[in-house]
Amino acid sequence: EIVMTQSPATLSVSPGERATLSCRASQSVSSNLAWYQQKPGQAPRLLIYGASTRATGIPARFSGSGSGTEFTLTISSLQSEDFAVYYCQQYNNWPPSDTFGQGTKLEIK
């Protein structure tokens, strides 16, 4: 099983500042990596797929980078609606067995 590890577990940032979230895979997942945002009581929302491609309707302040085992989600200027939990997910392995990171909670400082 590919283990996904996110850091930090909690990130406190002020509105308008930049947030950088990390995700590490226990083995290479190439660019088969996605990021999701989840707010309380809601389903996850796809932000980034293919490690760096924004999903439809996602603002340009969200960007993803990395390949192999190290990935980063950057939110360039935090808005109030961005405070949520963020998950990374790999979808690289065969037979299929997607795995998620444990999540990073982005909270208002």
Partner 1 sequence: EVQLVESGGGLIQPGGSLRLSCAASGFTVSSNYMSWVRQAPGKGLEWVSVIYSGGSTYYADSVKGRFTISRDNSKNTLYLQMNSLRAEDTAVYYCARKRLAAAGQPGAFDYWGQGTLVTVSS
Closer CB to partner 1, residue 26 or residue 97?
Answer: 97
Site string for partner 1, 26-45 (x = CB under 8 A): ------x-x-x-x---xxxx
Site string for partner 1, 81-100 (x = CB under 8 A): ------x-x-x---xxxxxx
Binders in 42-71 for partner 1, by CB under 8 A: 42-46, 49-50, 55
Residue 16 beta carbon to partner 1: minimum distance, rounded to whole angstroms: 28
Do 68 and 52 form a contact (C-beta atoms < 8 A)? no
The per-residue DSSP string of 9-52 comes to: SEEEE-TTS-EEEEEEESS--TT-EEEEEE-TTS--EEEEETTT
